[in-house]
Amino acid sequence: MLDINPGLILWTILTFVIVVGILRAAAWKPLLAALNAREESIRSALRRADEARAQAQALLEENQKQRAQAEEQAQRLIKEGRDMGERLKGEIVEKANSSSRHMVEQAKEEIRREKEAAIVQLREEMSDLAIAAAGKLLDANLDTAKQRALVDAAIRDIAKAPRQ
């Protein structure tokens, strides 16, 4: 079994060469075609994957731009709302201040008119009382006791008179 048999070697080599020739003629081209097709499909899949990744990257960048624009617009709208609120607040405060000043001035004017009317009425009543007292003094004798009684009566009349 360990002997070298030259005939067996020759037949083995010859069989190997014939099998290789048959495989080359019959199976080699279809194997190469299948390998080339597989290589091309892998390249095509890699190319499509690269294109899809590039599209995804472009969509991501566009999405980020739109998000940034939306956030910027939201911030602008918030700022405009705050500014409008501050402006309205200022207008309302100014109207309230103006209204309160107007009301205070009206109240002061009303108080002044009432005061003047009270002073005029008081003067009229004092004039009437003075005239009445003078008339009573002139009608009565000018005796001191009668004068004192007249003045006391006038004071009691003043005290009894209804106040407005």
Q: How far apart are CA 50 and CA 42, in angstroms?
A: 12
**Paired tokens of 110:** 């009303």
Query: In residues, how long is the chain?
Result: 164
Q: What is the pLDDT of residues 1-43, one digit of tens each?
A: 577 888 888 999 999 999 988 888 888 888 888 999 999 999 9
Which residue bears the tokens 């607040």?
89
Angle at 59 between CA 43 and CA 63, to 5 degrees: 160
pLDDT in the model for residue 61 = 96
pTM over 0.75: no
Q: What is the pLDDT of residues 58-93, one digit of tens each?
A: 999 999 999 999 999 999 999 999 999 999 999 999
Q: How far apart are CA 110 and CA 104, in angstroms?
A: 10
Q: How far apart are CA 96 and CA 103, in angstroms?
A: 10
| Per-residue confidence band for 160, with pLDDT thresholds at 50, 70 and 90 | confident
| Per-residue confidence band for 139, with pLDDT thresholds at 50, 70 and 90 | low
pLDDT in the model for residue 119 = 83
pLDDT in the model for residue 142 = 59
Q: What is the pLDDT of residues 87-108, one digit of tens each?
A: 999 999 999 999 999 999 999 9
In the chain, DSSP finds a helix count (H) and a strand count (E) of 3, 0
- Residue 77, φ and ψ in degrees, nearest 5: -65, -40
pLDDT in the model for residue 163 = 58
Which residue bears the tokens 């009349």?
157
As a three-state string, the secondary structure of 54-75 is HHHHHHHHHHHHHHHHHHHHHH
